[in-house]
Amino acid sequence: HYNLIIMHFLFIYLPRDGFFINRKTRCLFPPLGAMYLSAVLEKEGHKATIIDLRAEGEKALRKFVLDADIVGITVETTSLNNCRKIIELIRQIDRDVPILIGGPHCNIVKEKALKELNADYEIVGEGEVSIAKIAKMLEGKEEERNIAGLCYLKNGKTYSNPPAIVDNLDTLPFPAHHLVKKYNYGYIGGIKIFPGRFMSMITSRGCPFKCKFCSRSSLYFDKYRVRSPKNVLEEIKYLYEKGYKNIIFVDDNFLTDKKRVEEIMDGIIKEEIDMNFIIEGARVDSADYNLYRKMKEAGVKLITYGIESGNQEILDYYNKGITLEQIKYAINLADQMNFITIGNFILGAPIEDEKHIQNTIEFAKELPLDVASFFILEYIVGSELWNEAVKEGKIGVNEYIVESDASKGLGKLTRKRLEEMRRRANLQFYFRIKYAVHEILKFLRMKNIYLAKGISTVFACSRCVKKRRCLKK
């Protein structure tokens, strides 16, 4: 790094809109995107700092902004309002520091985000390709037009360079875990799900599936890539040696390539790595007895599934590519292995009526799930559903997240009725003797006090218990 001018990058990660920036919250996992960018910069000899504003108040921001050469902000569609607020605050602290934005929302709307958020620079694509050149640009050693995916304003005109992605994920350095060491992750609903230090990993990027409600294919430019089992195991061993006790895999679909997952699990078992593993995204059609048995032996404790509906008609409409029988098999097999299971359901598909939703509730009750989460469908920018609604004039091009609502021509049920149905779903699923017995027996088998705490939190947070009218069909 002869004659290198060390640049200081400050990366900021924001809470979702609706959560205060200046209030500390307990989070599930750290901002991997910023950690990867920081690792690339540190490898080049530069300095990076990460501030997770979900876990730290904005008071800590001032001293870091004043010391930074550039401020990078991860932009999610769900945190746009908080992003605007933090950019205004940064401008008040230091009007001259350049602001760089990137992340999922930027990959979808591209240079439009640059203007909307009043940033100086924007990266479209995967920032690891470009971030080192941005450091050189700040040094005066690289021209803006030569940086892949960079959007910028010059002489009142917006310029956009073609984006790039990382073809071989094994070439990336491991994320800069040490930059978020001060934060305590691993919380769901304010409850620490497992004891010990917690870190997340992503072992693939993109998704080979095309669900109508999802915008993921837009984020990674429709290209699915995976890390090799050897590369994944090296990071797991590194974290284990650093004292981490828990890892959550945050891939969109960790189990897609079952042979690769088996190799990873075999490596964990062979190396006698004693950790808890959580799979944040899994498809039910990946369920396999031998694979699940191996996952259990390796230390997998919790799996989250995208179930979506208890109606085959709705699953087909969403282009899920799964069946109700596959759902039953996967959840029962996971329960047999003593995995903690979380099932996510979506209410309010355009063709869905109250009978469909009641079918979903009854179907959820048949499954031995530990947690069932019921969400109202969101038309989110970049998804096929959003694109169709915009073409039909039901959603404006600047309405990035819109919930299903018959009063807007989006679906058959009003937002109010969907909220009532969601409350009904929570009440009918959780307040059952069969469910309580299942959880008590599972707790006794697992002897996991954290599971017991989590389930008690679910009951405590079901504030709609007094609205008994939702129980009636």
Q: Are strands 378-380 and 157-160 parallel, antiparallel or unpaired?
A: unpaired
The span from the CA of 80 to the CA of 400, in Å, is: 10
Q: Within the chain, which residue ranges are assigned CATH 3.40.50.280?
A: 8-160
The span from the CA of 457 to the CA of 473, in Å, is: 26
Report the 10 Å Cβ neighbour count for 473. Answer: 9
pLDDT for 55 beyond 70: yes
pLDDT for 154 beyond 70: yes
Q: Within the chain, which residue ranges are assigned CATH 3.80.30.20?
A: 186-471
Greater model confidence, 78 or 156: 78
List C-alpha distances in Å: 75 to 86, 177, 366.
11, 21, 39
Work out the average pLDDT over 91-95. 95
Question: What's the gap between Cα 367 and its chain centre?
Answer: 25
Work out the average pLDDT over 238-254. 96
Amino acid present at 209:
F
Q: What is the pLDDT of residue 221?
A: 63
Query: What is the second-level CATH architecture of the domain 8-160?
Result: 3-Layer(aba) Sandwich (3.40)
Q: Are strands 371-376 and 378-380 parallel, antiparallel or unpaired?
A: unpaired
Domain 186-471 sits in CATH 3.20.20.150: no
Question: What's the gap between Cα 250 and its chain centre?
Answer: 7
User: Which tens digit of pLDDT belongs to each residue from 202-219?
Assistant: 999 988 899 999 987 666
- Degrees (nearest 5) of the Cα angle 61, 67, 68? 85
User: Which tens digit of pLDDT belongs to each residue from 316-335?
Assistant: 999 999 999 999 999 999 99
Work out the average pLDDT over 96-111. 95
Q: What is the pLDDT of residue 21?
A: 55
Residue with tokens 């218990």: 465
pLDDT for 297 beyond 90: yes
Q: What is the pLDDT of residue 466?
A: 36
Q: What is the pLDDT of residue 463?
A: 39
User: Which tens digit of pLDDT belongs to each residue from 445-454?
Assistant: 776 655 565 5
% the chain with pLDDT above 90: 80
Report the 10 Å Cβ neighbour count for 252. Answer: 23
User: Which tens digit of pLDDT belongs to each residue from 330-377?
Assistant: 999 999 999 999 999 999 999 999 999 999 999 999 999 999 999 999
DSSP secondary structure letters along 328-377: HHHHHHHHHTT-EEEEEEEE--TT--HHHHHHHHHHHHHS--SEEEEEE-
Q: What is the pLDDT of residue 452?
A: 60
% the chain with pLDDT above 70: 91
User: Which tens digit of pLDDT belongs to each residue from 286-295?
Assistant: 999 999 999 9
pLDDT for 421 beyond 90: yes
Work out the average pLDDT over 266-273. 98
Work out the average pLDDT over 127-134. 96
pLDDT for 5 beyond 90: no
pLDDT for 461 beyond 50: no
Work out the average pLDDT over 212-239. 89
Work out the average pLDDT over 390-418. 96
- On average, the pLDDT of the chain sits at 91
Q: What is the pLDDT of residue 23?
A: 57
Work out the average pLDDT over 400-419. 97
User: Which tens digit of pLDDT belongs to each residue from 7-40?
Assistant: 999 999 998 887 655 556 678 889 999 999 999 9
**pLDDT confidence tier of residue 460, bands split at 50, 70 and 90:** very low
Question: What predicted TM-score, i.e. pTM, was given to this entire model?
Answer: 0.92
